[in-house]
Amino acid sequence: MRRDYSRATPLEVLRAVWGYSSFRPMQEEVIRSVLRGDDTLALMPTGGGKSITFQVPALILEGITLVITPLVALMRDQVEKLKSLGINAQALYSGMTRGETLAVLDNIVYAADYKILYIAPERLQNELFLRRLGAMDISLMVVDECHCISQWGYDFRPDYMTISSARSIIGEEVPMLALTATAPPRVVEDVIRSLEFRHGYKVFKRSFYRDNLSYVVRKTYNKPRELIHILSSVEGCSLVYVRTRRQAERFAQLLQDAGFSADFFHAGLNPSVKQQRQQAWQSEELRIMVCTTAFGMGIDKDNVRLVIHPISPFSPESYYQEAGRAGRDGKRSYAVLLYTPLEDEEYLSKLIKSHYPPPETVVQIYNWLGDYFRVAVESGTGSYHELLPYDFIKRYHCPLFVLKAALKILTLSGYIEHREDYHMASRLIFTINRNDLYTFFSDDETKYDDLVELLLRSYEGIFTEYAFIDESMIQTKLGLSPEQLYRMLIQMRRWGVIEYVPGKRSDYVVYTQQRLPSREVKIPAYIYDQQMRGEVDRLTRMIDYIRCDDSCRVRILMEYFGEKAPLPCGYCDYCLSHKTKTLTYRLIHEISETLIDHPDGITKEELRESFPTVTTKQWDYTLDFLISQGYTIDQTEESIHLRLTTE
């Protein structure tokens, strides 16, 4: 019997389930807002403990908490962790068979003790899921990575636009919690509008400042040599972020040749290799992972000491999020960006422009896709097609980067959906009619009779359209090994009884509407007016951050996210090379550490001797700042005592 937490306080749940004595800053305020029924937006930096803000209320509230997230790694990781804590959770993500999906939905709808369901945003366009959604007792709707709904954001995803309409199925009275680590003011406003927050909504914003993370920009004309030097100087687990798969493989080889424990990770690896490398890095059998952004999202590892970018990201949002994977345990860590003047700026600017080929080029590629897949005009709605990019570009003499850009624009325009590295379940259709099917097999082929009967029972409409089949379910019910089932299906295909397409991981294109004549294909103006302009603006701000030689790095980032930083950090490359007598966050941290080291208090005279350059005005600011961070200051005329507020 699972424990009932409906009458417990948030802190009681945190202590009983997770074993933590207190919340991190802002977590409890967000939780209490949700429990009051308010629509809530929380901006919390990477590693700030976002998941606790919905997992705790999920246990207190009756019913199911629905979590919408694009991060499959996060879904799997959090479901496993929740189950280890005795909390029933499930996840629906791309690549699951129909049988697996139905099993999860049945558990959620009919089993009383499930508390959390994770789904990918595209699930909200699935008719089967939407029918079941109305039967679910949803008590909280959570939108993770909510910046993806904003067309002004750095990672806009059209699938997110369906979230507000799904709320009408769940019930307008159900509160919504939107979470993000990175959103400048314009994106925050767009999120609130796009998710249709109700009147009285609350916004909580935790400071983007992290006192244990040192930001460094290193100018160099020899990035390989500088990369090796930095990794030799800073010990511990490290991430090296690059832009392309080829760069990941090249830098990993460079580090291996230099004697480092390193490997690469990108979306092109098969699932078993991905899992093996991720586990090796997390268990620290592997020290350095050279990776594209396909690695790290939703992966919980708190002792990364160093994140290096040999090539700059396109935006401050991307950089802050990737750099923020360092030092989640609170210990000193480093985010280093390598920069070659002029060369890098030219490379990045060209790359941005390549993301937006002319509209007529996009329409031409749309037509080529239809011909490539043999989809007739005014047909194809909902059909899936495997895309072999290198075969396509060879056939149509189209550069790969232009194809990728066109696929993204066509997806944003709503004509197709491009799914990279997608696991497509096996599918089949009967090619003879039902009467012929019953007389086809001889009496000594009963195993085929059993297979046919199970297929007909399990999948409606299998004579008229392809059905995605759950091979593991079929194997279990018929007592077959994977090899035996595969051989039987291949044999039935040879006999002409079925068309069978084995499942595989590949790139796919889904027609979200029928193929249109080229004259009717219109690319929305916002893609070029808003998306392209926004991407160029973000790149300009990123280059400003890199070039800047007259300001604290942290100040630049915080101001980009709409947060005023009254003090320099004291830890970045600028602050360390321009030592001043001004008060810095680093000095405040050192003062707080001194106070914590004296639990019985310290005299003011001893404190002034330890920090002789701090003025009376700076002392007052320091104490006010520490109070704002959750500390309590007890002081007399002679002594001062600091303690952390836990309630």
3-state secondary structure of 635: strand
Q: Are residues 24 and 82 in the same domain?
A: yes
In percent, the amount of the chain with pLDDT more than 70 equals 93
Domains in the chain: how many in total?
5
| Residue 647: predicted pLDDT | 40
Q: Tokens at residue 83, please?
A: 């189950």
Residue 569 lies in a domain: no
Whole-angstrom distance, CA of residue 132 vs CA of residue 200: 30
Residue 381 lies in a domain: yes
Under the banding of pLDDT at 50, 70 and 90, the label for residue 646 is very low
Task: Tell me the pLDDT tens digit for each residue of 112-145.
Answer: 688 999 998 888 877 778 888 988 999 999 999 9
Q: Are residues 132 and 244 in the same domain?
A: no
pLDDT at 644 over 90: no
Task: Tell me the pLDDT tens digit for each residue of 232-257.
Answer: 999 999 999 998 889 999 999 999 99
| Residue 299: predicted pLDDT | 66
Q: What is the domain extent for residue 442?
A: 427-502
CA nearest to 566, candidates 510, 640, 621: 621
| Residue 387: predicted pLDDT | 92
Per DSSP, the residues of 112-178 read TTEEEEEE-GGGGG-HHHHHHHTTS-EEEEEETTGGGG-TTSTT--GGGGGHHHHHHHH-TTS-EEE
Task: Tell me the pLDDT tens digit for each residue of 576-596.
Answer: 887 655 667 777 777 877 877
Whole-angstrom distance, CA of residue 293 vs CA of residue 277: 15
Q: Are residues 334 and 472 in the same domain?
A: no
Q: Are residues 414 and 435 in the same domain?
A: no
Half-sphere exposure of 609 (CA within 13 A, CB side): 5
Task: Determine the Cα angle at 90 with ends 89 and 95, to 5°.
Answer: 160
The mean pLDDT of 372-376, rounded to a whole number, is 96
Q: Tokens at residue 530, please?
A: 């808003």
Give the CA distances from residue 95 to residues 434, 508, 559, in Å, rounded to whole numbers and listed in that order: 30, 12, 41
CA nearest to 78, candidates 144, 12, 23: 144
Under the banding of pLDDT at 50, 70 and 90, the label for residue 465 is confident
CATH number for 608: 1.10.10.10
Q: Residue 641: phi, psi to the nearest 5?
A: -135, 135
| Residue 98: predicted pLDDT | 67
| Residue 117: predicted pLDDT | 95
Q: Tokens at residue 450, please?
A: 């059993």
Q: Are residues 414 and 431 in the same domain?
A: no
| Residue 95: predicted pLDDT | 62
pLDDT at 202 over 90: yes
Q: Are residues 484 and 453 in the same domain?
A: yes
The mean pLDDT of 556-561, rounded to a whole number, is 91
Residue 225 lies in a domain: yes
Task: Tell me the pLDDT tens digit for each residue of 58-106.
Answer: 999 999 999 999 877 778 888 888 999 999 999 987 667 667 788 888 8
Where residue 502 falls (left for φ over 0; alpha for ψ -120 to 50; beta otherwise) is beta
The CA-based dihedral angle spanning residues 286, 287, 291, 294, taken in that order and rounded to the nearest 10 degrees: 70
Whole-angstrom distance, CA of residue 286 vs CA of residue 149: 36
Residue 1 lies in a domain: no
Whole-angstrom distance, CA of residue 593 vs CA of residue 635: 17
| Residue 8: predicted pLDDT | 93
Strands of 272-402, DSSP E: 288-291, 304-309, 333-339, 384-387
508 vs 372: which has the higher pLDDT? 372
Task: Tell me the pLDDT tens digit for each residue of 270-298.
Answer: 777 888 898 899 899 999 999 988 676 65
Query: What are the beta bridge partners of residue 501?
Result: 427
pLDDT at 645 over 60: no
Whole-angstrom distance, CA of residue 76 vs CA of residue 274: 14
pTM of the prediction?
A: 0.71
> What mean pLDDT is reported for the chain?
87
The mean pLDDT of 298-307, rounded to a whole number, is 84
| Residue 442: predicted pLDDT | 63
Q: Are residues 34 and 176 in the same domain?
A: yes
Q: Are residues 309 and 394 in the same domain?
A: no
pLDDT at 339 over 60: yes
Q: Are residues 367 and 514 in the same domain?
A: yes
Whole-angstrom distance, CA of residue 29 vs CA of residue 350: 44
Give the CA distances from residue 204 to residues 163, 184, 379, 426, in Å, rounded to whole numbers and listed in that order: 21, 13, 47, 45
Mean pLDDT is highest, among 34-48, 87-101, 461-475, 562-576, for 34-48
In percent, the amount of the chain with pLDDT more than 90 equals 44
Q: Are residues 242 and 279 in the same domain?
A: yes
Residue 172 lies in a domain: yes
Q: Are residues 394 and 328 in the same domain?
A: no
Residue 255 lies in a domain: yes
Q: How many residues does the chain have?
A: 647
* 216, 172 contact by CB (below 8 A): no
CA nearest to 464, candidates 432, 429, 435, 440: 429
CATH number for 52: 3.40.50.300
Q: Are residues 432 and 495 in the same domain?
A: yes
Residue 2 lies in a domain: no
| Residue 628: predicted pLDDT | 66
* 310, 238 contact by CB (below 8 A): no
